[in-house]
Structure 1
Amino acid sequence: LAENQQLFRARRMLVDRISTPVMANLLDHLLEDRILNERERDCVFEEHLARADRASCLIDMVRRKGARASQELITNLKNFDPFLCNDLFPPVGQAEEAGGSRSFSTHIQRTDKLVGQLETSDMVIIKTRVALLINVRNFVNKKWIREGSEKDDAAMATLLTALGYRVRYCFRNETKKQTKILDIDKAVKDFAQLPDLSQTDSVIVVIMSHGIMGAVYGSRGKAVNPNEKDDLFPIDNIFEYLNAKNCPALRDKPKVIIIQACRGGDSLIFVIETNPGKCLSRSMKLIVVFLCQIHSTRNVSWRDPDFGSPFIQYLVEVFNTFSHKDHLEKLFTKVMNRFKQGPTPTKRQMPVKDRCSLSTHFYLFPGL
């Protein structure tokens, strides 16, 4: 397809997802490249107040100028928002690898009938579902504030609800002026004792914060005084609290644990791992997904203030589009494949599936 046709096909998603800072950079560079004149550039921001309206104006203005102008916009978008550009204009063959289609759904696709190729051992139990969602946005140290993480929080809450989960203990300290002290350990321990767990067919635990190897930070963060300890929650505690001994209600039930633990900085990689033999037993069925973030440039964070992190965006898109027909392992494989051909090797995020002990496929089947 010609570039202006590609831009037209991607128009709706681009309008929905492009951020204001990226749009401003695009306008400046399109002016420098003489694709737009000053009057056209000013028109986008001065005649439109809403971000989406400005985006629509910019896209349509450039698209009508033809293939060369459209290609300049796409090229500049790749420089300023490589993850978004890679989503909307993936290299040939990448879309098929990531999920079989260039188009991902913005809403959950509901199951109207069971998948025909299910095996007799596959798990299709639809009961009351319960999920735990923890997002540590604010910290005592204001420099640690995770701008844009509230977008991840909202996206995951919407997804979990659409999948039939009741979201419990959803901590949200979203205002910059307020830092609510969150006790992650107590929240997970209390969740493991909920009476509702006896009726659920599975649980999902999502924790989003800063992290180090094997642990995530609570809102107190790193200790300031020598006699204090860092506010850290060990990931292994999740396995201990949810195992068959401490939580018999979840015996033989799948547990999905998603950790989005990241820290901006200089070429710092966090792959949170756990000891496979410490808490895992045959009755502890787990799928664990961890986020590894690579930051190659000082002060670069791949969590957009307007849209959140690419990891959560990709996860939500894949689950929205394919959870009505694919089992959990296949869904997470598709999420991981979204990262395999990142915009550049040094600016790539890669999620890691740390362990999976499911002996049968588990289907979410939203809508049944």
Structure 2
Amino acid sequence: MLVDRISTPVMANLLDHLLDDRILNERERDCVFEEHLARADRASCLIDMVRRKGARASQELITNLKNFDPFLCNDLFPPVGQAEEAASGSVWGSKLCGLRGFPRAYPVMPKSNRTRVALLINVRNFVNKKWIREGSEKDDAAMATLLTALGYRVVRPETGEPRKYTGEDFAQLPDLSQTDSVIVVIMSHGKKGAVYGSRGKALNPNEKDDLFPTDNIFEYLNAKNCPALRDKPKVIIINACRGGDSLIFVIETNPGKCLPADTDALEEDDIKVHIEKDFIAFLSCTAGNVSWRHPFFGSPFIQYLVEVFNTFSHKDHLEELFTKVINRFDQGPPPAIMQVPVKDRCSLSKHFYLFPGL
């Protein structure tokens, strides 16, 4: 379990402290990283080194692990009262729910029998060439890499699939019964409450705009229409404008002047489930405002999101990760500082920890 789940930053900290405690010498520490490329191989090498040095060395490793990764240490060595639960074969994620001082968490399926699924849609090219979202290919690649690292099979309707998927198609994928969560990422132009398809705005007055209401995502994946995802986290991430304002203000020296640029009858033994439960949406900007994108570097929203997830998703729950992304905009240079992402329609009843690599 330690080999499967230890992260590279935790391993590096362990090596430094084992060197300080004179359990390992510098040559042994360097050997772990320089002679092995795969994370699991490095972890195996470290464990073998420590075990050969006896009980004191092993105890030092455990003590340091408790400081750097208490979640993993708790699963490896359950406290009294949790050992019986560990022996019963329960999902390790459910044990986390009982840790003192931590709120309940959604159970995470063991790696051996789960198939996480994510839907990634990036509309870059449009019929109207002026609408082409240059730079969005950077966002697309970054999100695909992140989702894969988090253990999700990425479904891409526009490429790499035998046919195009509709929302209903995705909701009926057989993989959903074996996933502990779903992430849907949509990147396009947009307006309040909807995102544009590749046809964009209608050129002919007799035609309709090519719009997809974001409410439809919640309807396709809710408890009624997608029972396979009942009681599982459903994460919706949308990178699109929600209007035309940019929230840029010009404050004049004259104080006070600020100029802005139906229910069926239930049987006694029927189960009652709230139809829209366990969702959370993360939108790239506030209602009525623009979402910035650089033609060479991509969108600050996607780049900051990937940065935060890569750094903190091994220890923070999902809502906290989203909060860190919002805080990251406070630190970024313009135009990022003029954009504020928002968490929306959150009905998560528990914390959701992604635990990448597990």
Please tell me the TM-score bracket, short chain as reference.
0.5 to 0.7
C-alpha deviation, 1:220, in angstroms: 0.3
Match of 2:90 in 1: none
Say which one has the larger Rg: 2
Distance 2:291 2:239 in 1: 13
- Relative to structure 2, which stretch is displaced further, 307-316 or 186-195? 186-195
C-alpha deviation, 1:305, in angstroms: 2.5
**Residue 144 in structure 1 maps to residue 131 in structure 2:** yes
C-alpha deviation, 1:295, in angstroms: 11
C-alpha deviation, 1:307, in angstroms: 2.0
**Residue 289 in structure 1 maps to residue 289 in structure 2:** no
C-alpha deviation, 1:327, in angstroms: 0.9
Q: How many residues align?
A: 235
**Residue 125 in structure 1 maps to residue 125 in structure 2:** no
1:124-163: per-residue Cα shift (whole Å, max 9, x none)?
A: 4132100000000000000000000011001000000000
Match of 1:206 in 2: 185
8 Å Cα contact 1:215/1:234 also seen in 2: yes
C-alpha deviation, 1:301, in angstroms: 8.0
Q: 1:319 aligns with which of 295, 301, 309?
A: 309
Superposed counterparts of 1:88-127, under 5 Å: 114=72, 118-120=96-98, 121-126=104-109, 127=114
Partner SS, residue 158 of structure 2: strand
Change (3 A) 1:293 1:137: farther
Q: 2:225 aligns with which of 246, 251, 254?
A: 246
- Relative to structure 2, which stretch is displaced further, 257-266 or 122-131? 257-266
1:274-324: per-residue Cα shift (whole Å, max 9, x none)?
A: xxxxxx93662111101117999xxx9842233210000000000000111
Partner SS, residue 321 of structure 1: helix
Partner SS, residue 288 of structure 1: strand
Match of 1:348 in 2: 338
**Structure of higher RCO (CA pairs closer than 8 Å, 6+ residues apart):** 1
Superposed counterparts of 1:225-244, under 5 Å: 225-244=204-223
Distance 1:264 1:215 in 2: 10
1:321-361: per-residue Cα shift (whole Å, max 9, x none)?
A: 01111111111111111123554699511101012111111
Distance 2:117 2:123 in 1: 20
C-alpha deviation, 1:114, in angstroms: 3.0
**Residue 215 in structure 1 maps to residue 194 in structure 2:** yes
8 Å Cα contact 2:185/2:237 also seen in 1: yes
Distance 1:324 1:311 in 2: 20
Partner SS, residue 117 of structure 2: strand
TM-score, normalised with respect to structure 1? 0.58
8 Å Cα contact 1:291/1:350 also seen in 2: yes
Distance 2:331 2:190 in 1: 25
Letter in 2 for 1:128: T
8 Å Cα contact 1:133/1:206 also seen in 2: yes
Distance 1:201 1:346 in 2: 33
Letter in 2 for 1:157: A
Change (3 A) 1:212 1:365: same
Q: 1:190 aligns with which of 162, 165, 169?
A: 169
C-alpha deviation, 1:169, in angstroms: 2.4
Distance 1:231 1:136 in 2: 12
**Residue 160 in structure 1 maps to residue 147 in structure 2:** yes
Letter in 2 for 1:161: T
Distance 2:73 2:292 in 1: 36
Letter in 1 for 2:237: I
Change (3 A) 1:316 1:346: closer
Match of 1:258 in 2: 237
Contiguous gaps of at least 5 residues in structure 2: 1-68, 75-94, 99-103, 249-272
Change (3 A) 1:345 1:231: closer
Distance 1:218 1:339 in 2: 28
Superposed counterparts of 1:294-313, under 5 Å: 302-313=292-303
Distance 2:139 2:185 in 1: 11
Distance 1:309 1:228 in 2: 31
RMSD over aligned CA atoms reads: 3.2
1:230-287: per-residue Cα shift (whole Å, max 9, x none)?
A: 0000001001100111111000100000000128966379xxxxxxxxxx93662111
Change (3 A) 1:266 1:364: closer
C-alpha deviation, 1:122, in angstroms: 1.6
C-alpha deviation, 1:123, in angstroms: 2.2
Distance 1:207 1:343 in 2: 25
C-alpha deviation, 1:225, in angstroms: 0.7
Change (3 A) 1:344 1:144: closer
Distance 1:155 1:137 in 2: 15
Percent identical: 75
TM-score, normalised with respect to structure 2? 0.59
